[in-house]
Amino acid sequence: MLTTPDRDRGDRSPWNWLLILPIILPLLPFLFNFDEPRIFGFPRFYWLQFAFIAVGVVCTTVVYQMTKRRR
Amino acid sequence: MSEHLTEIIIFSVLFLLVSGMGFVAARWRRPDNLATLDEWGLGGRNFGAWITWFLIGGDLYTAYTFVAVPALLWSAGAMGFFAVPYTIVVYPIVFLVLLRLWSVSHVHGFVTPADFVRARFGSPTLALLIAITGIVATMPYIALQLIGIEAVLKSMGVTGHLPIIIAFAILAAYTYQSGLRAPALIAFVKDTLIYIVILVAIFAIPAQIEGGWSGIFSAAQAKFDATPAPGDGILLNANNQLQYITLALGSALALFLYPHSITGVLASKNRDVIKRNMSALPAYSLLLGLIALLGYMAIAAGVKPIGTDNNTIVPQLFDRMFPDWFTGVAYAAIGIGALVPAAIMSIAAANLFTRNIYKEYLKPDADEADEARVSKITSLLVKVGAVLCILFLDTGFSIDLQLIGGVIILQTLPAVALGLYTRWFHRGGLVAGWVAGMAAGVLLLYNIGNPVTGKLHFAGSAFPLEKLGLDTKMTIYAGVLALGVNLIVAVAGTFIARGLKVAEGDDATRADHYLADEGDPRIKELDLTTP
């Protein structure tokens, strides 16, 4: 009786793949483990990892908006 | 002590004000009956986006984080910044996984991760292991919150254990009365204070330092160049990059397996609240990154810790750089910052005991009021235990316990996180994997020494790959290695158990339970199937 969920009730969405980006980026030290270039005195190691926070926010926000349930 | 009088007065006033809120919280969003675990332990499962944001944020970013992460940058440099990638990686992972846990818990009325495992694999034994792991991993975490308060008190010249005991007695009293509503309400104040303090700090302190941010990084660079330690510096070196990323990933996976984080998630009203929070919570990561850099500011300002207690670095920096009254506010932010997570952690541990030990083994016919009563009492005992940890154990030892805590909580990943996606594992395999992962984790940590401090065992989480016979100076986070062992054994154990035709447990959940949402017309009907 309950084994066939409606189609739009699934969790699967191609948009979910976007979540891979903020998971992988911060785990690649060859991108950020450098001093130069500096921005406002911050070495790349620091400002780029701060930038990854923004990537995380953007990706999760997009996925949330695109997979929101229409009520 | 008298030169810190202004700080002490401001600290005490704010602390008492917030404690008052903790007691009043029992009446906030008042239910008809607080004597159920849903109400006392999960705040009625009805928190919206804002409350959840403050609650989970206040829960994950603890007083200890605020003092320990900058202390790590102060002493070791770039390695301490792992906290930033760690808190970036965690949210997208959780976005999908915990959403499913929320749904299935909503349908079945689960309060703890062990409740889920019990129903999914039909195994009280496995659930018991998950519950014990959660309780054991949480206790030292609560003790660390005390260390955070202690660092602040020490900086105000307040010594001895009595103030901490009083602070915790107050905390215990209002948690007992108000349950999860208390930390949820206090979290607003805590985070507002912390945001104000940090925003002031990152503008005011660099302005007082020669060369601003450039000067701060150069001073840190100069300090690390002058030390003989090979692993420090403002950048990573070839040998600690693997440690950096495995520690970030491993900590992220562990974070949401901790029972207190799951409590925060289960208390939210619907799936959208969780999804929205996973994109809004990284605001705290930004905060954490900035707080971490206070460690470098302390280097540039020439701040020294009190004695050998590196945890006092941030309080000492504030004392040096801020006027007294604002230092008092900053100290209150850290002190109150300890109360929110400590309250949620003790509630989570208490719920594990009540649901998965008391009701399962001691009194199977316990009704809802019984459950709430046992949880309230257990939450008191858990706090007493944490205070005893601080009084009778060396505080360095509490930190070691927390390190072990992170490694052992990771061993619940196959049953809890993978269990949300697949029923493939056999309960026997999962139990075997848990045992193997736990043994491997403790063994690895036991073998980590630190030549600088002369400590031979449990001196960190960076396991040298050299000790496995590999020709390298690289290190790796012990938790990830132990989880690898766990998974291999769980897979092998599953094949063996199936081969021997060992009985499978019943699965009380069905595919669409993992997708249910608030107001689902079928929830009521499904409630009858609660095991």
Rounded distance, CA B335 to CA B358, Å? 33
* pLDDT, tens digit (0-9, with 9 covering 90-100), for B62-112: 877 888 889 889 988 999 899 999 999 998 888 788 889 999 998 898 999
pLDDT at position A10, please?
62
Distant-in-sequence, close-in-space partners of B94: CB < 8 Å, separation ≥ 6? B256, B265, B278
Residues 41-60 of A with CB under 8 A from B: 41-43, 45-46, 49-50, 52-53, 55-57, 59-60
Instruction: Determine which helix (DSSP H) or strand (DSSP E) holds A48, and give its type and residue range.
Output: helix A44-67
| Contact call for residues B233 and B310 (beta carbons, < 8 A) | no
Is it the case that residue B528 has pLDDT exceeding 50?
no
Residue B267 CA to residue B273 CA, distance in Å, equals 10
* High-pLDDT (> 70) share of chain A, %: 82
Q: How confident is the model at residue B142 (pLDDT cuts 50, 70, 90)?
A: confident
Question: For B513-525, what is the mean pLDDT?
Answer: 71
Distance of alpha carbon B432 from alpha carbon B427, whole angstroms: 9
B297 touching A (Cβ < 8 Å): no
pLDDT of residue A5: 44
- Burial class, B238, CB count within 10 angstroms (exposed 0-12 / middle 13-18 / buried 19+): exposed
Please tell me the predicted confidence (pLDDT) of residue B407. 93
Rounded to a whole number of angstroms, the distance between the first and last alpha carbons of chain A is 23
- Tell me what pLDDT residue B41 has: 83
Q: What is the pLDDT of residue B530?
A: 45
- Does the pLDDT value for residue B293 go beyond 60? yes
pLDDT above 70: residue B529: no
Determine the pLDDT at residue A7.
Answer: 44
**Owner of token pair 């930390």:** B183
Considering only CA atoms, which of B76, B80, B369, B416 is closest in space to residue B224? B76
Give the pLDDT of residue B113. 93
Q: Which of the 8 DSSP states describes residue B360?
A: I
Nearest to B279 among A27, A49, A61 (CB): A61
Nearest CA in chain B to A11: B515
Cis peptide bond prior to A5, omega within 30° of 0: no
Residues of chain A with C-beta less than 8 angstroms from the C-beta of B103 = none
Sign of CA dihedral B191, B197, B200, B204: negative
Check if the beta carbon of residue B527 is closer than 8 Å to that of residue B116. Answer: no
For chain B, what percent of residues have pLDDT higher than 70? 97
Could you tell me what percent of chain B has a pLDDT over 90? 30
Q: What is the mean pLDDT of chain B?
A: 87
Dihedral (Cα; B202, B204, B207, B209), 10-degree rounding: -80
Residues of B in contact with A43 (CB under 8 A): 217, 234-235
Q: Between B171 and B1, whose confidence is greater?
A: B171
Distance between B460 CA and the closest CA of chain A, angstroms: 21
What pLDDT does B2 receive? 64
**Which of A50, A52, A60 should one mutate to test binding to chain B, selecting the residue with the greatest count of B CBs within 10 A?**
A60
Q: What's the rounded mean pLDDT across residues B43-49?
A: 84
Per-residue confidence (pLDDT) for residue B128, from 0 to 100: 94
Minimum-distance CB partner of B89 among A3, A26, A63: A26
Residue A2 has pLDDT above 80, yes or no: no
Distance (Å) from the alpha carbon of A51 to chain B's nearest alpha carbon: 9
Decide which of B396 and B478 is more confident.
B478
Q: Which residue of A has its CA nearest to B86?
A: A26
Integer Cα distance of B530 and B359 in angstroms? 14
Average pLDDT over residues B346-368: 90
- State the average pLDDT over residues B203-225: 89
Question: What is residue B469's predicted lDDT score, i.e. its pLDDT?
Answer: 82
Query: Looking at the complex, does the CB of residue A1 fall below 8 Å from at least one CB of chain B?
Result: no
Please confirm whether the linkage preceding A22 is cis (ω < 30° from 0): no
**Calpha distance B482→B440 (Å, rounded):** 5
| CB-closest option in B213, B244, B289 to A50 | B289
pLDDT at residue A46 greater than cutoff 50: yes
Complex ipTM above 0.90? no
Banded pLDDT at B45 (limits 50, 70, 90): confident
Tokens of B507: 């699965």
